[in-house]
Amino acid sequence: MAAAARVFVEHGYAAGTTNRIAEAAGLSVGSLYQYFPNKDAILVGLVRRHVDQGRAVIERALAGDVPGDPEGRAALLVDTALEAHRGDPRLHRVLFEESPRPPELLAELHELQGALVEAVAELFGVPRLTAWMMVAATESLVHRFLADRPCGVVEFRGELIALLAGFARG
């Protein structure tokens, strides 16, 4: 998987061929095909690894001490999202913007989002629609921030915390 990630970062999705991935991994293409039927299967494996890592970060955050005020809870949400999405922004762009996602992977991503929405609704004591908007805003803005870096992390974090705390207050 590490070799595939490097190839996708360097060449993007379209030019990230199985030949390049096999070469980077020190394998023959035939050997690579024993494990993955095509490049999309490799990509799905990378997305699942990213999602599993993100899920673990979220579970750890929710298992810890939860602040009582909206700003503290918003900070927990923002910090968790930033940690869950740390890593190479170019790979993230390939995984979530450049490449196709099969229906079963989309279903997994929607299921994870639904669970996160329920957790945020409970955490903030807000209606499900408000929680959905908070999750969607956080995901979208963190993705864009990591891809574009329009400001420093501290400034971005502060602005997103203020936005989410405003949602939580209604």
- Range 66-73 average pLDDT: 89
What's the mean pLDDT in 158-167? 95
- The band of 138, judged by pLDDT with boundaries at 50, 70 and 90, is very high
Residue 124 lies in a domain: yes
Residue 25 lies in a domain: no
Q: Domain residues for 109?
A: 47-169
Q: Kindly report, residue by residue over 98-112, the tens digit of the pLDDT.
A: 888 888 888 888 988
Q: Is 97 among the domain residues? A: yes
Question: What is the domain count for the chain?
Answer: 1
For residue 20, being part of any structural domain is answered with no
Is residue 14 included in any domain, yes or no? no
Instruction: Please report which confidence band the pLDDT of residue 79 belongs to, taking 50, 70 and 90 as the band edges.
Output: very high
Q: What is the pLDDT of residue 92?
A: 80
Mean of the pLDDT values across residues 112-119? 92
Percent with pLDDT over 70 in the chain: 100
d(CA 54, CA 31): 30
d(CA 170, CA 168): 5
| CA nearest to 40, candidates 98, 87, 84 | 98
Q: Is the pTM of this model over 0.75?
A: yes
Report yes or no: 36 and 135 within 8 Å, Cβ to Cβ: no
pLDDT of residue 71: 94
135: left (phi over 0), alpha (psi -120 to 50) or beta: alpha
CATH number of the structural domain spanning residue 85: 1.10.357
pLDDT(152) > 80: yes
| Average pLDDT across the chain, whole number | 89
Asked if residues 164 and 137 have their Cβ atoms less than 8 Å apart, the reply is: yes
